[in-house]
Amino acid sequence: MQPLRSPYNPIHIPLGLVLWSIWFVIIYGGLSVGCAVLPPAPGQGQWTWLNASLAVLSVLTVVALLGLARLFHRAARKDDASQSERFVARLAAGVNLIGAIATLFVTLPTLSLPPCL
């Protein structure tokens, strides 16, 4: 069994989608709470403090997921890794990349629509 910090540990395979799902719950929970507690004026359109904070959280999440994808991709390219270790690292890199793409896909409507309609 690989140590937990090793990029070849199979526990890292679902990491990207777990991080994406945590981000998803936080962003929509934060949107709901923000709209209930301190809703921005409807005349502001999409340029509100709420959309700005959601955008910052989304950018941080995308950067983290892309960083993890790069880390695992680099680990998969090492010559001293076995075939199964490379498979785990490639799969983890792909899942993190999918999580980053999904984050961007969900963020676009958040940034282009007024938050509290």
Q: Break the chain down into helix, strand, coil percent, rounded to 5.
A: 75, 0, 25
Cα angle, residue 52 at apex, residues 50 and 55 outer, rounded to 5° = 110
Q: Which two tokens stand for residue 71?
A: 């880390």
The verdict on residue 39 lying in a domain is no
The verdict on residue 5 lying in a domain is no
Tens-level pLDDT at each residue, the chain (117 residues): 678 888 899 999 999 999 999 999 999 999 999 999 999 988 888 889 999 999 999 999 999 999 999 999 999 999 898 999 999 999 999 999 999 999 999 999 888 889 887
Q: 48 and 75 in contact (C-beta within 8 Å)?
A: no
The verdict on residue 117 lying in a domain is no
Tally of domains in the chain: 1
Dihedral of CA 56/45/109/31: which sign? positive
* CA pair distance 11, 14, nearest whole angstrom: 7
* CA pair distance 92, 73, nearest whole angstrom: 8
Structural domain that includes position 55: 12-32+44-112
Largest CA distance in the chain: 59
* pLDDT the model gives residue 71: 95
* pLDDT the model gives residue 3: 82
The verdict on residue 37 lying in a domain is no
The verdict on residue 1 lying in a domain is no
